[in-house]
């Protein structure tokens, strides 16, 4: 069946997810961390106890969502719309969480449907909330039933130069590393499948671009300390091709920052970013 708008409000059954030190290390390498970030890319370096990139939340969180309730869509025509995370504590190098998810919105954009989810995760070892993730999927070809178009709030960026800019270069094989953290969608690896979605070549995972952006925010505004990273939210506006150069522009106001990420051509690939930190 097609997308089911009546699924809004559906709550999934609790779902558990565990991870190891290796999972966290692989994720860090997948989002571009390297030899100058040994606290995230190694577990046995002198004076650098392993810590976890806060955006690893998108890998372990998001469980318990009742995906079977939303109906059907063509995965080759689906792209990530928005993503947010909120951290209540620092993610440990290994552990287990229990997550409960909910479908929070399904909107009709005419040519597409937007489906929103939210999931809250509790650290099984402590019994305390660890993180919350929210996301939306933009499913092309699934709109047009005459439903609510959804909210249209938009951030207005300051009319001045950014307070900080950080540029990272992605590798041409970046997606092949990142996919090992769990997202094996062939849109990011198989040229023929990417062509079905209208792309000339496989595109980078949106959440990989998001991880690069999160690293820039972490190191620029939190001094590389994950315990100071509180929340991050943004919208995906354009696909990134592996090998692209990413520049994160940041405007700071107290403990809140607005951000966006552009490619080497100045095209915005992540927009409407809001980051909060201690």
Please give the positions annotated as active site. 183, 188, 203, 206
- Number of residues that make up the chain: 278
Cα–Cα nearest to 136, from 207, 184, 74: 207
Helix ranges (H only) for the chain are 21-30, 38-41, 57-60, 174-178, 191-196, 206-221
**Do the beta carbons of residue 219 and residue 225 sit within 8 Å?**
no
Q: Residue holding tokens 């980051």?
A: 275
As beta bridge partners, residue 139 has 78, 113
Q: E strand or H helix at 117, and its extent?
A: strand 112-123
Residues whose CB falls within 8 Å of the CB of residue 68, separated by 6 or more in sequence, listed in order: none
Q: What Rg value do the Cα atoms of the chain yield, rounded?
A: 18
CA distances from 194 to 119, 174, 239, 274 (A): 29, 16, 12, 30
229-236 and 78-87 strand pairing: antiparallel
Tell me how far apart the alpha carbons of residues 97 and 9 are, in angstroms, rounded to a whole number: 22
């Amino acid at each position: 069946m097609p997308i089911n708008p009546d699924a809004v409000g559906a709550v999934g059954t609790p779902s558990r997810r565990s991870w190891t030190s290796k999972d966290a290390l692989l994720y860090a390498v997948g989002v571009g961390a390297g030899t100058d970030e040994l606290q995230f890319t190694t577990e046995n370096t002198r004076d650098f106890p392993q810590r976890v990139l806060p955006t690893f939340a998108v890998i372990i969180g998001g469980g318990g969502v009742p995906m079977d309730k939303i109906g059907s869509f063509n995965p080759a025509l689906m792209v990530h719309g928005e993503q947010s995370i909120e951290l209540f504590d620092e993610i440990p190098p290994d552990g287990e969480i229990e997550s409960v998810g909910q479908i929070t919105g399904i909107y009709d954009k005419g040519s597409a449907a937007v489906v929103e989810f939210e999931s809250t995760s509790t650290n099984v070892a402590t019994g305390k909330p660890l993180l919350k993730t929210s996301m939306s999927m933009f499913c092309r070809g699934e709109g047009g039933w005459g439903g609510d178009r959804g909210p249209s709030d938009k951030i207005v960026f300051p009319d001045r130069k950014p307070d900080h800019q950080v540029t990272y270069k992605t590798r041409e094989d970046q997606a092949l590393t990142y996919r090992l953290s769990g997202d094996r969608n062939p849109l990011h690896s198989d040229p023929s499948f990417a062509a079905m979605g209208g792309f000339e070549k496989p595109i980078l995972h949106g959440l990989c671009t998001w991880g690069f952006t999160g690293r820039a925010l972490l190191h620029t505004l939190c001094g590389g300390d994950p315990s100071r990273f509180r929340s991050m939210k943004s919208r995906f506006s354009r696909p990134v091709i592996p090998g692209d150069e990413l520049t994160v522009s940041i405007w700071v106001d107290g403990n809140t920052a607005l951000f966006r990420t552009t490619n080497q051509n100045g095209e915005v690939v992540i927009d409407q970013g809001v980051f909060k930190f201690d």
